[in-house]
Amino acid sequence: KDLAIAHPFKELEKLNCIAEKASLDECRICTDEGSRVTIPKGAGLPNVDTLLYIVKGKDSLCNVTIAAQELCAQEHTEDRPVAAFISICPNLFKYPRRFQTDVMVHEVCHALGVSIYLYPYLRKEDGTPQTARDPETNLPNLGMFGKDLYYS
């Protein structure tokens, strides 16, 4: 199994989304010359389907938003998110509680896969990919706009 790493927002790349190595499957970097393991397989976490980290937002992020989410890892065979984090900026707490709740629900939905970046990974009811896959990379066989956004 390989582990797919995604960084959909340029602002978040600086936040270093690194999950506990013991909780992840192995991570490989694939190039034209082949692939190499960059993080060895961990023992995993029993009875855990998705690992969600909640962190305080860095000042550079909090100057432009109140909260953000980043997907850290997807499960390789089913493409579902298995590790993500939500970065919360302190200025979120200046808003009414209902708004705070709405923002958190919004970010949790992204962490669980409701995201334009993950739509190409959706699966049919029988578990097969909704979009055709490249046989060499197992990535959606679509055009790419930028680093992480696919289009058809």
Is residue 70 in a domain? yes
Both structure tokens of 8: 């959909």
Is residue 117 in a domain? yes
Q: What is the pLDDT of residues 78-122, one digit of tens each?
A: 888 888 889 999 999 999 999 999 999 999 999 998 988 888 889
Is residue 43 in a domain? yes
Please say if the pLDDT value at position 16 is more than 70: no
Is residue 5 in a domain? no
Domain enclosing residue 145, as ranges: 10-151
Cβ-contact 82, 53 below 8 angstroms: no
Is residue 4 in a domain? no
Is residue 3 in a domain? no
Place of tokens 């680093």: 147
Is residue 28 in a domain? yes
Whether the pTM exceeds 0.85: the reply is no
| 110 marked as part of a ligand binding site | yes
Number of separate domains in the chain: 1
Cβ-contact 80, 111 below 8 angstroms: no
Q: Nearest 5°: phi and psi at 44?
A: 85, 175
Which among 78, 107, 125, 136 is annotated as catalytic?
107
Whether 78 sits among the annotated catalytic residues: the reply is no
Average pLDDT, the chain: 76
Estimate the share of the chain in helix, then strand, then coil, as percent rounded to the nearest 5: 20, 30, 50
Is residue 144 in a domain? yes
**Which pLDDT score is estimated for 8?**
38
